[in-house]
Amino acid sequence: MKKTGQGSIKLNFLEMTVFPILVLGIIIVLFSSSMFSNSMEEEVESGLKNLGLAVLNTYDVAYPGDYVMQLKGEKGIEILKGDKIISNNYNIIDKIKEKTGIDITIFYQDTRILTTILDSEGNRIIATAAHPMILQEVYEEQKECFYNNAAIGGIEYFAYYAPIYNADGACIGMIAAAKPAKKVTAMISKSVFLIIVLAVIAMMVTSAICIGFTNRIVEIIQEIKAFLSSVSSGNLTSKLDAKVLERNDEFGEMGRSTVHMQKALRVLIEQDTLTKLYNRRSGENKMKTVYQRSQNTGVPFAVSIGDIDYFKKVNDTYGHEAGDAVLKNIANILNKNMQGRGYVARWGGEEFLLVFENATQKVAREALLDILNHIRSSEVTYEEEKIKVTMTFGVVPGDCTKEMKVLLKEADDKLYWGKENGRNQVAE
């Protein structure tokens, strides 16, 4: 179930990022390809139109006058432009074909009289007619037309046709500028292929970035989840990856909130509410750590249990609120004086556990005497009443050959002996 949950989060992220990118990329490719194809066709149309009109202008400049058909012998005919015979004169259109790759054809009425287009045997396809639809639309209806599938000599062309007029406005034929459809299609296909390649690369890079980002997000979620699982299982010392805490986004805030929650739980579970010291459970756990470290390293430690003298009398005389004030004052003195020496925990009621780390019983006793002097000289003011108390401590060396509970009992026995023999002292 755990893997499924993680997988579903990752899958959902990918569905929200990569899938839309792929769909959008496909749409963009299709749209761009269509637009580019249309644009290329328009460009070809414009180029063929300009070239066709330029050819007509060239003939008008080179051979002023109208187009005229006259008989040549008994069966032949020839076409003149002004007083010049242009039939079989291919100089102009051949040079244009050589420089531009565009085929030029001139029709007189419905018949080709000049063309650069060759048949399969290399002969010019003159004295042939245009397609009936082209004749109808261009010659008879006198309209300029562009065709992207004109069949000429068995080959498809992109072709522009325009009517030719004499000075009196009479339509006497047509001019055609054509380019093999295969060449145009190849040019379009090459460009479209480049668009597709670039789009695919862009989609792959973007998808890789999204996948990397998704993986990182899922990792962060899993790190936070693992941290929460560790805390919920009771490991209140577990640490969340610093990279999560350093983020300046919602995940960083979430991580910092979970750490704050962990700290709050530690306070709730490990700390005594009144004195802010470790509670008994935490005191035992910390002592276990000190005990095990001493077993492994031989570093000495000492254990002490202290009790406030005549504390019941304080409660009976001044009230429990005054007793709480005394407890907090004593806790503050103990905690302050145990800094760098070990730790102190509230053991229960007016009793406190003190564990001295890296210290012999003698060192611990001297420290306790110093602490006791601080307690003797301190006082608590409650409702204009000054309350002074003393404490009795029992202290024993941390002997790792004995169980922890035995050491605690021995310290408690020493405390009891001190209570029975005058209080306000350190018993060892």
- Given a cut of 70, whether residue 294 has pLDDT beyond it is yes
Rounded Cα distance, 343 and 302, in Å: 11
Q: Is residue 235 part of a domain?
A: no
**Is 33 a domain residue?**
yes
Q: How far apart are CA 109 and CA 22, in angstroms?
A: 55
- Asked whether residue 292 is assigned to any structural domain, the reply reads yes
Model confidence at 188: pLDDT above 70: yes
Domain with residue 326: its CATH number is 3.30.70.270
pLDDT of 134:
93
Running DSSP on this structure, what letter comes out for residue 140?
I
Regarding whether 382 and 287 lie in a shared domain, the answer is: yes
What is the model's pLDDT at position 295?
94
Same domain? For 179 and 279 the reply is no
Q: Is the pLDDT of residue 41 over 90?
A: no
Question: In terms of domains, do 14 and 131 share one?
Answer: yes
Q: Residue 346 pLDDT > 80, yes or no? A: yes
Residues 29 and 172 grouped into a single domain: yes
CATH code for the domain in which residue 144 is found? 3.30.450.20
User: pLDDT digit string (tens) for 247-286?
Assistant: 888 878 888 888 888 777 777 778 898 999 999 988 999 9
Query: What does the pLDDT average to over 77-91?
Result: 89
Residues 126, 15 share a domain: yes
Cα separation of 198 and 208, whole Å? 15
Cα 232 versus chain centre, distance: 30
Residue 319 pLDDT exceeds 90: yes
Closest C-alpha among 354, 363, 339 to residue 287: 354
- Does the residue 397 lie in any domain? yes
Q: Name the token pair of 200.
A: 């695919």
> Taking the CA atoms of the chain, what radius of gyration do you get in angstroms?
52
pLDDT of 187 higher than 90? no
Alpha helices of 338-394 — where are they, by DSSP H?
361-377
Strands 351-357 and 301-308: antiparallel
- How would you list the strands of the sheet with 301-308, edge to edge? 342-348, 351-357, 301-308, 391-397, 426-427
Instruction: Encode 228-250: b = buried (16+ Cβ within 10 Å), e = exposed.
Output: eebbeeeebeeebeeebeeeeee
pLDDT value at residue 1: 39
User: Are the C-beta atoms of 178 and 103 separated by less than 8 Å?
Assistant: yes
Asked whether the beta carbons of 304 and 395 are under 8 A apart, the reply is yes
* Whether residue 207 has pLDDT greater than 70: yes
Query: Does 78 score more than 90 pLDDT?
Result: no
Beta strands in 82-116 (DSSP E): 84-85, 103-108, 111-115
Q: What pLDDT shows up at residue 98?
A: 93
The model's pLDDT over 136-171, given as tens digits with 9 standing for 90+, comes to 999 999 999 999 888 888 889 999 999 999 999 999
Residue 98: how many CB atoms within 10 A of its CB? Answer: 9
What pLDDT shows up at residue 2? Answer: 44
Give CA separation, 389 vs 273, 315, 380, in Å.
22, 12, 9
Residues 174 and 307 reside in one and the same domain = no
Domain co-membership, 302 together with 170: no
> Do 10 and 154 lie in a common domain?
yes
In a domain, 263, yes or no: no
Going 127 to 129 to 135 to 138, the CA torsion angle's sign is negative
Q: How many domains does the chain have?
A: 2
Confidence at 321, pLDDT banded by 50, 70, 90? very high
The average confidence (pLDDT) of the chain is 88
Task: Write out the residue range of the structural domain in which residue 92 sits.
Answer: 2-187
Average pLDDT score over residue span 338-360? 95
pLDDT number for residue 158: 92
Given 164, 187, 210, the domain boundary residue is: 187
Specify whether 161 is located in the same domain as 300: no
Is 264 within the bounds of a domain? no
* Amino acid making up residue 64: P
Residue 143 in 3-state DSSP?
coil
Please say if the pLDDT value at position 64 is more than 80: yes
Indicate whether this model's pTM tops 0.85. no
Residue 376 clears pLDDT 90, i.e. is over it: yes
Asked which of 187, 207, 228 is the last residue of a domain, the reply is 187
**Confidence category of residue 73, pLDDT binned at 50, 70, 90:** low
Asked if 344 and 335 count as a contact pair (C-beta separation under 8 A), the reply is: yes
| Residues 34, 145 share a domain | yes
Q: What is the pLDDT of residues 86-125, one digit of tens each?
A: 988 999 999 999 999 999 999 999 899 999 999 888 899 9
Among candidate residues 132, 166, 187, the one where a domain is terminated = 187
Res 233 pLDDT > 60: yes
Is pLDDT at 74 greater than 70 in this prediction?
Answer: no
If asked whether residues 183 and 304 sit together in one domain, one would say: no
More confident residue, 210 or 177: 177
153 & 45 share domain: yes
d(CA 93, CA 102): 9
Please state, in angstroms and rounded to a whole number, the distance separating the CA atoms of residues 284 and 304: 13
pLDDT (tens digit, 9 = 90+) per residue, 1-22? Answer: 344 445 567 677 667 777 777 7
Extract the tokens encoding 383. Answer: 């409702």
Q: Is residue 245 part of a domain?
A: no
Comparing 264 with 178, the larger pLDDT belongs to 178
Q: What pLDDT does 21 receive? A: 75
Residue 196 included in any domain? no
